[in-house]
């Protein structure tokens, strides 16, 4: 029973992968991304069950999402709105009429034994999204064509218990939670992405990041890859450079971070090159990305569409958005990320590198809100990108999740500008706010952090420093002004760094007649 089994990769390892540069010298990659976005609607796609994350298993269910006999689905209008708004933001055409389809297959996480999806009548078609990739020669823009955006419902969540890997093989039993069954999903499918060459992994990553930011700006999902509200399937094929036809693609599932999207593409190119160099053929299959190894293992061989026996769902009326409704929704589109980047770049006078740092740190909105609260953009950028980014990394949270508001950051910047705080003291105020000690002014008060610049308190510290260092004082009196630095140091030490160093120096020189 309890014999130790080391999970082996041997049956799955296949021919030795070819090193990336070498693979790219001979082969040209083609990509396709299928991204699922969980919509943040209050209720499910076809029933009124709540969608909140983290509830007790099987408490957010009803006859419709459990597919009990006689129950009938009704489309969630908010979900359709979200789909249309995303389609418009992706420059798609919105279909004037379309039906839901049943995608039939058996799996225990899907009580109906079919998933309601859209097949040949998706709600949005033929769009595009421009993505920017940094190259040594500067930023390069790739246009990713969007094939379609369609609506569907999520499945429940199965957990396989008792095995070493959490996968069904080797598990003692499995349990299923239907809370997620029926949560609205959008699937965004790209057309094949060609012509990226060695930049393929970066283009895939940039696309996922851009799509995430776009969806977030629309406010239709929280798009958290680590929580599964955005999931990418990455299709990759390679063909010999100059070949007339694309190669056979594999589809890597479970790719749940931007970094993994990049790694999945890269490792799949290396693996497929190894297969071809070994004289074998790439098989069309799904693969599973392994976070720990950065490689994927083979899943099932891929079904063809006909295996799903798609047919129009007779329980649902067609979705037929009117022109007026579409135009109403178009009017609700916010400033989209690309336009926002161009605007702040001009407004804040940024270089390519400065803009890239802001984008990579996901800090544009935070800096913008800090500027709106009265801070100069340069100071706001500095605080978010240095001190606050460092703390976010330390605590392994996103910048926006730090417990400090742009208003508080702006106040700290103002306290520095008016001379109440030095930069060093400002860092302590940041620390205090993050530790929950209250507003910046309260932290300054409670921690006694004000710069000591009034001549009374500072004068006393200066006098003490002179008395304690008579030989240094003598040198300064004798004209060696540079020696005053040691006395300033003593004052800073005595005031625990809170003295206004410039004013302290003035007072020292004045007292010693060296001015």
Q: Which residues sit at the interface with ligand ADP, rule CB under 6 A?
A: 30-34, 147, 189-192, 235-237, 246, 249, 251
Told to check if 79 binds Zn ion by CB under 5 A, we report no
What is 121-145 written as a DSSP string? S-SEEEEEEEEEEEETTEEEEEEEE
How many residues sit close enough to Mg ion to count as binding (CB under 5 A)? 1
Across 108-119, b (16+ Cβ under 10 Å) vs e yields eebbbebbbbbb
Strands, E, within 206-349: which ranges? 230-240, 250-255, 285-290, 295-301, 311-312
What is 86-115 written as a DSSP string? HHHHTTPEEPSSB--EEEE---TT-TTSEE
Partner whose footprint covers residue 80, from ligand ADP, Mg ion, Zn ion, none (CB < 5 to 8 Å by kind) = none
CB of residue 184 to Mg ion, shortest distance in Å: 17
Within 2-61, the residues that bind Mg ion by CB under 5 A are 34
CB of residue 160 to ligand ADP, shortest distance in Å: 24
CB 395 within 8 A of CB 387: no
Q: How far apart are the first and last CA of the chain?
A: 88
CB of residue 95 to ligand ADP, shortest distance in Å: 17
Q: What is the rounded CA–CA span in Å between residue 441 and residue 419?
A: 13
Choice between 53 and 246, CB closer to Mg ion: 246
Choice between 88 and 234, CB closer to ligand ADP: 234
CB 312 within 8 A of CB 99: yes
Beta strands at 138-153 and 173-177: parallel, antiparallel or unpaired: unpaired
CB of residue 258 to ligand ADP, shortest distance in Å: 18
**Residue of minimal Cβ distance to Mg ion:** 34
Choice between 252 and 408, CB closer to Mg ion: 252
CB of residue 76 to ligand ADP, shortest distance in Å: 23
- Side-chain half-sphere CA neighbours of 515 within 13 A: 9
CB of residue 207 to ligand ADP, shortest distance in Å: 11
CB of residue 389 to ligand ADP, shortest distance in Å: 34
Choice between 62 and 457, CB closer to Zn ion: 62
Q: Which of 235, 304, 245, 303 is nearest to 272 (CA)?
A: 235
- Side-chain half-sphere CA neighbours of 101 within 13 A: 17
Choice between 60 and 267, CB closer to ligand ADP: 267
How many residues sit close enough to Zn ion to count as binding (CB under 5 A)? 5
Partner whose footprint covers residue 49, from ligand ADP, Mg ion, Zn ion, none (CB < 5 to 8 Å by kind) = Zn ion
Could you tell me which residues are beta bridge partners of residue 295? 290
Partner whose footprint covers residue 237, from ligand ADP, Zn ion, Mg ion, none (CB < 5 to 8 Å by kind) = ligand ADP
**Residue of minimal Cβ distance to ligand ADP:** 32
Choice between 47 and 426, CB closer to Zn ion: 47
Partner whose footprint covers residue 460, from Zn ion, ligand ADP, Mg ion, none (CB < 5 to 8 Å by kind) = none
Choice between 60 and 370, CB closer to Zn ion: 60
Q: What is the rounded CA–CA span in Å between residue 286 and residue 298?
A: 7
Choice between 235 and 495, CB closer to ligand ADP: 235
CB of residue 365 to ligand ADP, shortest distance in Å: 30
Residue 97 per-residue DSSP state: S
Partner whose footprint covers residue 235, from ligand ADP, Mg ion, Zn ion, none (CB < 5 to 8 Å by kind) = ligand ADP
Q: Is 70 left (phi over 0), alpha (psi -120 to 50) or beta?
A: left
Altogether, the residues listed in the chain come to a count of 515
Q: Which of 419, 504, 423, 432 is nearest to 465 (CA)?
A: 504
Q: Which of 180, 150, 141 is nearest to 55 (CA)?
A: 180
Choice between 285 and 431, CB closer to ligand ADP: 285
Strands, E, within 365-486: which ranges? none
SS3 15: coil
SS3 240: strand
Beta strands at 285-290 and 250-255: parallel, antiparallel or unpaired: parallel
Q: What is the rounded CA–CA span in Å between residue 463 and residue 456?
A: 11
Partner whose footprint covers residue 249, from Mg ion, Zn ion, ligand ADP, none (CB < 5 to 8 Å by kind) = ligand ADP
43 to 72: interface string for Zn ion, x by CB under 5 A? ----x-x------------x-xx-------
Partner whose footprint covers residue 103, from Mg ion, Zn ion, ligand ADP, none (CB < 5 to 8 Å by kind) = none
CB of residue 246 to ligand ADP, shortest distance in Å: 4
**Dihedral pair phi/psi, residue 100, rounded to 5°:** -80, 155
Choice between 207 and 348, CB closer to ligand ADP: 207
Q: What is the rounded CA–CA span in Å between residue 141 and residue 129?
A: 10
Choice between 265 and 483, CB closer to ligand ADP: 265
Choice between 36 and 450, CB closer to ligand ADP: 36
CB of residue 110 to ligand ADP, shortest distance in Å: 16
Partner whose footprint covers residue 47, from Mg ion, Zn ion, ligand ADP, none (CB < 5 to 8 Å by kind) = Zn ion
**Dihedral pair phi/psi, residue 205, rounded to 5°:** -65, -45
CB of residue 50 to Zn ion, shortest distance in Å: 9
CB of residue 248 to ligand ADP, shortest distance in Å: 7
Partner whose footprint covers residue 440, from ligand ADP, Mg ion, Zn ion, none (CB < 5 to 8 Å by kind) = none
Q: Interface residues with Mg ion (CB under 5 A)?
A: 34
Q: Which positions touch Zn ion (CB under 5 A)?
A: 47, 49, 62, 64-65
């Amino acid at each position: 029973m309890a014999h130790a089994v080391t999970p082996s990769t041997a049956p799955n390892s296949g021919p030795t992968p070819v090193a990336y540069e070498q693979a790219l010298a001979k082969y040209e990659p083609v990509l396709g991304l299928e991204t699922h976005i969980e919509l943040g609607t209050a209720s499910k796609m076809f029933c009124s069950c709540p969608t909140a994350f983290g509830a007790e298993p099987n408490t957010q269910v009803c006859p419709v999402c459990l597919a009990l006999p006689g129950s009938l689905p009704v489309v969630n209008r908010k979900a359709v709105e979200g789909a249309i708004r995303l389609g418009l933001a992706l420059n798609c055409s919105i279909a004037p009429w379309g039906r839901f389809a049943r995608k039939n297959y058996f799996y225990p996480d899907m009580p109906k034994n079919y998933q309601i999806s859209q097949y040949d009548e998706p709600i949005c078609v033929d769009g595009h999204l421009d993505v920017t990739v940094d190259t040594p020669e500067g930023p390069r823009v790739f246009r990713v064509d969007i094939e379609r955006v369609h609506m569907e419902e999520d499945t429940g969540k199965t957990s396989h218990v008792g095995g070493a890997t959490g996968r069904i093989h080797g598990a003692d039993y499995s349990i299923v939670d239907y809370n997620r069954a029926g949560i609205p999903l959008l699937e965004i499918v790209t057309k094949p992405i060609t012509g990226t060459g060695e930049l393929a992994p970066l283009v895939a990553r940039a696309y996922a990041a851009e799509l995430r930011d776009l969806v977030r700006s629309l406010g239709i999902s929280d798009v958290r890859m680590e929580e599964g509200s955005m999931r990418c399937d990455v299709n990759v094929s390679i063909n010999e450079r100059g070949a007339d036809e694309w190669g056979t693609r594999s589809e890597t599932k479970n790719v749940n971070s931007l970094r993994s999207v990049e790694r999945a593409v890269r490792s799949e190119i290396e693996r497929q090159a190894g297969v071809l160099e070994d004289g074998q053929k790439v098989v069309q299959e799904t693969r599973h990305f392994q976070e720990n190894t950065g490689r994927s293992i083979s899943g099932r061989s891929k079904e063809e569409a006909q295996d799903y026996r798609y047919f129009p769902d007779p329980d649902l009326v067609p979705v037929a958005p009117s022109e007026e409704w579409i135009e109403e929704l178009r009017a609700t589109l916010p400033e989209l990320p690309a336009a926002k980047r161009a605007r702040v770049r001009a407004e804040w006078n940024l270089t390519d590198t400065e803009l890239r740092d802001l984008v990579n740190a996901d800090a544009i909105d935070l800096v913008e809100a800090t500027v709106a609260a009265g801070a100069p953009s340069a100071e706001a950028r500095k605080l978010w990108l240095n001190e606050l980014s460092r703390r976010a990394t330390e605590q392994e949270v996103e910048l926006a999740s730090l417990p400090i508001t742009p208003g508080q950051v702006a106040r700290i910047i103002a306290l520095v500008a008016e001379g109440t705080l030095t930069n060093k003291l400002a860092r302590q105020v940041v620390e205090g706010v993050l530790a929950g000690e209250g507003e910046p002014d309260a932290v300054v008060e409670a921690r006694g952090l004000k710069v000591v610049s009034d001549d009374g308190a500072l004068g006393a510290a200066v006098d003490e420093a002179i008395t304690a260092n008579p030989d240094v004082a003598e040198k300064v009196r004798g004209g060696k002004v540079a020696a005053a630095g040691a006395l300033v140091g003593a004052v800073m030490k005595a005031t625990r760094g809170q003295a206004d160093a410039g004013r302290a120096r003035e007072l020292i020189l004045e007292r010693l007649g060296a001015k």
